[in-house]
Structure 1
Amino acid sequence: MALDRDTLDQLLDTIRRFVVERLVPNEARVAEEDRIPDELVEEMRALGLFGLTIPEAYGGLGLTMEEEVLAVFELGRTSPAFRSAIGTNNGIGSQAIVLGGTEEQRRRYLPRLASGELIGSFALTEPDAGSDAASLRTLAVRDGDGYVLNGTKRYITNAPQAGVFSVLARTRGPEGESGISCFLVEAGTPGLRLGHKDRKMGQQGAHTCDVIFEDCRVPATALLGGREGDGFKIAMRVLDKGRLHIAALSVGIAERLIADACRYAAERRQFGKPIAEFQLVQAMIADSRAESYAARCMVLDAARRRDAGAVTTLEASCAKLFATEMVGRVADRAVQIHGGAGYIAEYPVERFYRDVRLFRLYEGTSQIQQLIIARETMRAMAG
């Protein structure tokens, strides 16, 4: 449900001030300690940030796609670890339940996800199944009044904190999309265990790990929507939405990096004047600004199309591909403008340079986006 303009502006202003006053000053602490302080998580809960996209009927704000990306533009102006803390509850950790859950499942989980009491996690990727999601091997075998799950999920975001996992598992057939179902598995279920937290290149404070199922028994009511075979279809719908979210995040981070680069260029002096006066530095700033503006326009256009009811598989992949590649280039230029200082951890650009590398990998790699874009374009041209 769309907010009125005044309410939306107030929400965006609140997020903007929270980012500037509370999150940015704690970026270095989060990177050093590899955790978000409890008091900041509580403040995020109090602001309703865990339930931005969850329908109002279940305790969330029910933002439209356009409203969501506007909020993410603001959240992107700080360490992506903060966005990750709330990201799964607003995205892949809740949207499978929103899109495909039974009413009982929605009422059981969505209000607690919206409040941040419960953290959701989406368990799709496996050691041998990532980009080729239809080849996943985790099995869910019907046994009496329930199912028994066996398999390993890898690189699962927020798994160490999660209270409920949306697990994609095969209920029939050795391969293919039609045999994949989704199960809601609660943390603490016998047979579910977590691997060690992954040590990552960047994004300290945002945690991933393996999720391992060994004869993990769940009741039949854990089957999302009560229907076998819908899991892959729901996963793809969730990922379409998630790709726009990541594209918006990339825009927000790019705008932060441009601001940091401009500030440094205005202060740093060489040859008797600020380096901002040198044309080759100006060229890097200009290219970064033009590309971030283009990405912002793409994200907003795709979001509005989705809100209007259009299928936006093509547009979401275009936006995700362009925006995530764009922020990598912007981060590289920001380091270059900082010179040697950009390689030193004292400056945020060093951390962001590592952080943004992930965006070209998850929610579908850049190469997968290219395949989707080509497929959807050929399909449209043939029609």
Structure 2
Amino acid sequence: MSVRDLPEDEQAIVEAVARWVDREVRPHAGRLERAGEYPAALIDQMKEMGVFGLAVPARWSDSAVSTRCFALVTAELARGWMSLAGATGGHSVVARLLAAYGTPEQQQRWLPRMATGEVRAAMALTEPSGGSDLQDIRTRAVRDGDAYVVDGSKTWITNARHAGLIATLVKTDPAASPRHRGISILLVEPGQVEVSRDLPKLGYRGVESCELSFAGARVPVGALLGGEEGRGFAQFMTGLELGRVQVAARAVGVGQAALDDALAYAQRRETFGRPIWEHQSVGNLLADMATKVHAARLLVLDAAAGIDAGRRSDLEAGMAKLYASEACMQVALDSMRIHGAAGYSAELDVERYFRDAPLMIVGEGTNEIQRGVITRRLVERSREP
């Protein structure tokens, strides 16, 4: 399964993004990242190409594509600069949540503008007290007339400063049992929450990751996703299938970039009178790297195909995210080894791949959590008729 298995129009989209990445992104990503400069011009070009509408259903988007195509486009963006793929991550999950669970008014208000990139969305799950146990969130939303009064804080919220919409997980009934029945999603707009600070990061520097503070913020009742309290946890769990595919696709893209650079360098660099790829120790690294990247891509496409078919794909998405992220980390390290001392230099992209790769291991649910999800789903499926 590859880009050649997509319909011709979707193949053309992936190939067009790949050419744009080679022409406009790869030559400039390192400079932008080192300067700490927000990639506004590149984001605008992504809007023009329809990238922000790829995961918005065709009813609201002229650029809607299959999840497989979306995943391959994500990989291409990450091959150029993982931060650009991050700019579409939460946005695409929120689009799917609105399409699946939003009221007609919410869908019509947000989805057409999200498809063009006029409105970019973020999702706010993680809190300072923890992120893996979403049922234990402490951000409260109390109904007061025609609004919810929200108190609490969120952290590590990507795109928070540039988002026109933040899908925020809140507790509307702290006494609910089981706990997940007391959780809802509010569609929060700028001005209803304070973006308190940007967090310094090892990598993933092109887009902001922020802390959010709610202190008696009033959010209209009409911002409750779907108009019914207590459904937020299940809604977000469904959305995270796409989120984990997207993170896995990012890992594929970074891994591919690390492999491509290592392969080129191994043919260019000579020691003992021959190119270093001919040395068995380097050749073995390249063979393993290529195998890992290919296997990760196939897992991503398999999970994406399940979503396209309307199947529950949390097992496949979890496997893809687990394997692809771990493979990406190893491939980035091996690329640095092949480059030798040059790979440790900030003048080459290799050290950026090495700094960006860990995000996929801890993002969208840590891999330790992913292993638990995979195990539970394996047991559940073994008991299904």
State the TM-score, normalized to the length of structure 2: 0.95
CA distance, structure 1, for counterparts of residue 62 and residue 333 of structure 2: 37
| Partner residue, 2:191 | 188
C-alpha displacement of 1:60:
4.5
| Partner residue, 1:291 | 292
Q: Which shifted more, 36-45 or 306-315?
A: 36-45
Residue 59 of structure 2 aligns to which amino acid in structure 1?
A
2:47 to 38, 45, 48: 45
Residue 116 of structure 1 aligns to which amino acid in structure 2?
G
Counterpart check, 1:23 vs 2:22: no
CA distance, structure 1, for counterparts of residue 74 and residue 43 of structure 2: 17
C-alpha displacement of 1:62:
2.1
Q: How does 1:253-272 map to 2 (within 5 A)?
A: 253-272=254-273
| Partner residue, 2:180 | 177
CA distance, structure 2, for counterparts of residue 119 and residue 47 of structure 1: 15
Q: Is the 1:240–1:313 contact (alpha carbons within 8 Å) kept by the matching residues of 2?
A: yes
SS of 1:187's partner is: coil
Residue 52 of structure 2 aligns to which amino acid in structure 1?
F
CA distance, structure 2, for counterparts of residue 209 and residue 168 of structure 1: 16
How many aligned residue pairs are there?
378
C-alpha displacement of 1:174:
4.2
SS of 1:345's partner is: coil
C-alpha displacement of 1:4:
7.8
Give the 3 Å change call, closer, same or farther, for CA 4–347 of structure 1 in structure 2. Answer: closer
Q: Is the 1:281–1:337 contact (alpha carbons within 8 Å) kept by the matching residues of 2?
A: yes
Q: How does 1:99-248 map to 2 (within 5 A)?
A: 99-174=100-175, 176-189=179-192, 192-248=193-249
C-alpha displacement of 1:73:
2.6
Q: Is the 1:60–1:111 contact (alpha carbons within 8 Å) kept by the matching residues of 2?
A: no
Give the 3 Å change call, closer, same or farther, for CA 37–296 of structure 1 in structure 2. Answer: closer
Q: Is the 2:78–2:250 contact (alpha carbons within 8 Å) kept by the matching residues of 1?
A: yes
Show structure 2 runs of 5+ residues with no match. Answer: none
CA distance, structure 1, for counterparts of residue 296 and residue 43 of structure 2: 30
CA distance, structure 1, for counterparts of residue 99 and residue 307 of structure 2: 16
Show structure 1 runs of 5+ residues with no match. Answer: none
CA distance, structure 1, for counterparts of residue 33 and residue 80 of structure 2: 12
| Partner residue, 2:332 | 331
C-alpha displacement of 1:278:
0.2
CA distance, structure 2, for counterparts of residue 308 and residue 269 of structure 1: 49
CA distance, structure 1, for counterparts of residue 286 and residue 42 of structure 2: 33
Q: Is the 2:6–2:69 contact (alpha carbons within 8 Å) kept by the matching residues of 1?
A: no
CA distance, structure 2, for counterparts of residue 328 and residue 310 of structure 1: 29
C-alpha displacement of 1:42:
1.8
| Partner residue, 1:63 | 65
C-alpha displacement of 1:14:
1.1
Q: Deviation digits for residues 217-239 of structure 1, max 9, x if unmatched? A: 11110111000001000110111
SS of 2:59's partner is: helix
Q: Deviation digits for residues 151-210 of structure 1, max 9, x if unmatched? A: 000100101111111011001024711100000111012xx2011111100111111111
CA distance, structure 1, for counterparts of residue 354 and residue 62 of structure 2: 33
C-alpha displacement of 1:114:
1.3
SS of 2:93's partner is: coil
CA distance, structure 2, for counterparts of residue 24 and residue 128 of structure 1: 37
Q: Is the 1:53–1:60 contact (alpha carbons within 8 Å) kept by the matching residues of 2?
A: no
CA distance, structure 2, for counterparts of residue 37 and residue 64 of structure 1: 27
Q: Is the 1:140–1:147 contact (alpha carbons within 8 Å) kept by the matching residues of 2?
A: yes
Moved over 4 A (4+): none
Structural RMSD (CA): 1.5
| Partner residue, 2:85 | 83
SS of 1:228's partner is: coil
Name the % identity: 38
Residue 66 of structure 1 aligns to which amino acid in structure 2?
R
Q: Is the 1:324–1:360 contact (alpha carbons within 8 Å) kept by the matching residues of 2?
A: yes
SS of 2:185's partner is: strand
SS of 2:156's partner is: strand
C-alpha displacement of 1:40:
2.0
Give the 3 Å change call, closer, same or farther, for CA 50–35 of structure 1 in structure 2. Answer: farther
C-alpha displacement of 1:85:
2.2
Give the 3 Å change call, closer, same or farther, for CA 289–277 of structure 1 in structure 2. Answer: same
SS of 2:80's partner is: coil
Residue 13 of structure 2 aligns to which amino acid in structure 1?
L
Q: Which shifted more, 245-254 or 318-327?
A: 245-254
Q: Is the 2:89–2:243 contact (alpha carbons within 8 Å) kept by the matching residues of 1?
A: no
C-alpha displacement of 1:115:
1.2
CA distance, structure 2, for counterparts of residue 246 and residue 37 of structure 1: 20
Residue 261 of structure 1 aligns to which amino acid in structure 2?
A
Q: Is the 1:33–1:205 contact (alpha carbons within 8 Å) kept by the matching residues of 2?
A: no
State the TM-score, normalized to the length of structure 1: 0.95
